[in-house]
Chain A
Amino acid sequence: MDSEDDLLQKCITSAMPKQR
């Protein structure tokens, strides 16, 4: 199971803009 920190990091990364 992912740690809370991992989950948070994934959440942040998922919202970041992708390549133009």
Chain B
Amino acid sequence: PDSPLARWTKSLHFLLGDQDGAHLFRTFLEREKCVDTLDFWFACNGFRQMDLNDTKTLRVAKAIFKRYIENNSIVAKQLKPATKTYIRDSIKKQQIDSAMFDQAQTEIQSTMEENAYQMFLTSDIYLEYV
């Protein structure tokens, strides 16, 4: 069977599913000043697991919106205007849904797969680790 390290090169999904892989990728993104994209990606996964009947869930949705989408952060810049509007409206109407960040997460993931992930696989951080 493939080692965890070999799987990192197969897909972003494998890399982020491995503790060491996610940690190393995070270090790389910190250096590239775009670690927010990864934190947002994990926040979307965490949000999807939350209980919609828990009052904390609305607060977390608001926190994600405020931290990553409302401002001019790197995440906000990579999202389509319609995606941001949809999330803004959902929060305004307090219509919280487990899938409300799915589209935004997909957009961020695609950008990561095309750019940061490819750069990571040729970075010195990765090569030194290997």
| Chain A residues close to B by CB (< 8 Å) | 2, 4-5, 7-8, 10-20
Q: Which of B4, B19, B62, B63 contacts A16, CB < 8 Å?
A: B19
Q: Which of B17, B43, B49 has the most CB of A within 10 A?
A: B43
Q: A4-B59, A4-B66, A7-B59 are in contact. Are A12 and B18 (CB under 8 A)?
A: no
Cross-chain contact A14 with B49 (CB below 8 angstroms) = yes
| Chain B residues close to A by CB (< 8 Å) | 4, 16-22, 39, 42-47, 49-50, 56, 59-60, 62-64, 66-67
Cross-chain contact A7 with B56 (CB below 8 angstroms) = yes
The chain A residue with its CB closest to the CB of B20 is A20
30 contacts between A and B (CB under 8 A): A4-B59, A4-B62, A4-B63, A7-B56, A7-B59, A7-B60, A7-B63, A8-B60, A8-B64, A8-B67, A10-B46, A11-B46, A11-B47, A11-B50, A11-B63, A12-B42, A12-B43, A13-B46, A14-B49, A15-B42, A15-B45, A15-B46, A15-B49, A17-B16, A17-B17, A17-B18, A17-B21, A19-B19, A20-B18, A20-B20
